[in-house]
Amino acid sequence: MALLEVEDLRVAFGNATAVDGVSFSVEEGRIVGLVGESGCGKSVTSLAVMGLLPKGRGGRRAKAPEPVQAAAAEPAPGAVKAAAAAPQAVPAGGGRRSRGGADVSGRAVFDGTDLLALTPAAMRRRRGKDLAMVFQDPLSSLNPVVPIGRQITEVLERHRGLKGAKANQEAASLLDRVGIPDPVRRLKEYPHQLSGGMRQRVLIAIAVACAPRLLIADEPTTALDVTIQAQILELLKDLVEDEGTALLMITHDLGVVAGMCDEVNVLYSGRVVESAPVRELFARPTHPYTVGLLGSIPKLDLPIHEPLTPIRGSIADVIRWKDGCAFAPRCDRVAEACVDGEPPLIGSAHAHRCVRAEEVA
């Protein structure tokens, strides 16, 4: 049994589906990547696992407008129009708390407990202790009016019962561990007095303060300089290897994946389209989306002024996996079979969601 087992996770914000049945697992002590472009649902997935999404009215069970969509099979244009309009009417009556709230369904089993089924209070007791998160933008993720020392000790106080001088001492040693020089003096400083890299180190210190078993890092290096990026990644890698912590690495940077991860899950339009051990994925990308992602990386050995190879089009706002592959509109090798029903996930160790993978490869 893996440490974290996410099964058929679905997240909808009112009418818009952000995550449409994501499943993956993270084994103890492994580094697992969640890769995809902006809007593919990777951050929402991590926030859902952490229980950090605002609660929607519909509770845990997201109501997909399936019956209405089935009616759209009728070719009459009037019927199609009605079907398109109907789903919007459903959540509008959802009630007062639905604004901005997320409807989450599926399971996220962490060490035998479904995190999504926990009460908010029970989840709060685990967050920051058993599982912790490092965020994208270190400046906005730290409270500007509270000294960083306090921002570290409050989590020590909450989950480890450390107070006063003891907590301060532990905070200083945490800062030291994440490579911040002169940690005792730094404790009294505010986030704006630190550099970007330092701030991210502080956020990492906060995340590892209670020795979590799972660390989720949501694009931890996106807001940093390239030179600092490497240091932060190295730090993260060292920390999880020392402690045997599992790390879920969320990124759009395949370079980061190649350098850090043991396994990779490629997300597209709210679903995993390919998942494989990292070497296997880079050696034999199977889904056309993965192939496109790898193809669009700039290569140093290409001649100057050689245009890059982007994936054409952009990610669609409305996710349609029911009617066929969501990537089909952007895919170069699309065929009849691609838009004939939902593509299944094929394979186990190296799984993909492309019905034509065999023919094309």
Partner 1 sequence: MLRYTVKRLLQLSVALLGLSLLLFAWFKALPGGPENQLLPENATAQQREALRAALGLDEPIWVQYADFLGRVVRLDFGSSLSSGRPVATELADRLPATIELSLAAMLIAVGVGIPLGYLAAKRRGSWLDFAAVSGSLLGTCIPIFFLAAMLKVVFAQELGWLPTTFRLSAGTEYTDVTGLRVLDGLITGEFDVAWDAVLHLVLPAIALSSIPLAVIVRITRASVLDVVGEDYVRTADAKGLKPSVIRGRHVMRNAMLPIATIIGLLLGSLFAGAVLTESVFSFGGIGSFVYQATTERDYPALMGFILVIAVFYVVINLLVDLSYGLLDPRVRVRK
DSSP type of residue 307: P
Of the pair 5, 218, the CB lying nearest partner 1 is at 218
- CB of residue 220 to partner 1, shortest distance in Å: 13
CB 221 within 8 A of CB 181: no
DSSP type of residue 83: H
- CB of residue 80 to partner 1, shortest distance in Å: 33
What is the distance between the alpha carbons of residues 175 and 182, in angstroms, rounded to a whole number?
A: 9
Q: Stretches 62-70, 145-153, 172-180, 279-287: which one binds partner 1 (CB under 8 A)?
A: 145-153
Q: Which amino acid is at 285?
A: P
- CB of residue 258 to partner 1, shortest distance in Å: 28
Q: Which residues pair with 262 in a beta bridge?
A: none
Specify the length of the chain in residues.
361
Closest by CA to 133, choosing from 48, 44, 204, is 204
What is the distance between the alpha carbons of residues 215 and 269, in angstroms, rounded to a whole number?
A: 24
- CB of residue 182 to partner 1, shortest distance in Å: 18
Q: Stretches 61-69, 127-135, 179-187, 308-316: which one binds partner 1 (CB under 8 A)?
A: 127-135
Closest by CA to 62, choosing from 82, 95, 84, 91, is 91
- CB of residue 263 to partner 1, shortest distance in Å: 24
Which run of H or E residues covers position 77?
helix 77-92
Q: Stretches 190-198, 225-233, 309-317, 331-339: which one binds partner 1 (CB under 8 A)?
A: 190-198
Of the pair 35, 133, the CB lying nearest partner 1 is at 133
Q: Contact between 249 and partner 1 (CB under 8 A)?
A: no
Candidate residues 44, 133, 239, 354; the one interacting with partner 1 per rule CB under 8 A: 133
Which run of H or E residues covers position 78?
helix 77-92
Q: Contact between 164 and partner 1 (CB under 8 A)?
A: no
Q: Contact between 163 and partner 1 (CB under 8 A)?
A: no
What is the distance between the alpha carbons of residues 117 and 106, in angstroms, rounded to a whole number?
A: 10
Candidate residues 61, 99, 185, 312; the one interacting with partner 1 per rule CB under 8 A: 99
Of the pair 102, 293, the CB lying nearest partner 1 is at 102
Q: Contact between 175 and partner 1 (CB under 8 A)?
A: no
- CB of residue 54 to partner 1, shortest distance in Å: 10
Tell me the CA end-to-end span of the chain in Å, nearest whole number.
33
Q: Which residues from 51-90 bind partner 1, rule CB under 8 A?
A: 52
Q: Contact between 185 and partner 1 (CB under 8 A)?
A: no
Of the pair 53, 83, the CB lying nearest partner 1 is at 53
Label the pairing between strands 102-110 and 4-13.
antiparallel
In sequence order, which residues have a C-beta less than 8 Å from that of residue 70 and are 6 or more positions away? none
- CB of residue 138 to partner 1, shortest distance in Å: 9
Q: Which amino acid is at 319?
A: I
Three-class SS state of 152: helix
- CB of residue 204 to partner 1, shortest distance in Å: 12
What is the distance between the alpha carbons of residues 235 and 24, in angstroms, rounded to a whole number?
A: 25
Q: Stretches 36-44, 77-85, 185-193, 325-333: which one binds partner 1 (CB under 8 A)?
A: 185-193
Candidate residues 159, 199, 201, 271; the one interacting with partner 1 per rule CB under 8 A: 159
CB 18 within 8 A of CB 100: no
Interface with partner 1 by CB under 8 A: which residues?
A: 50, 52, 96-97, 99, 123-129, 132-133, 135, 137, 140-147, 150, 154-155, 158-159, 190, 192-193, 203, 206
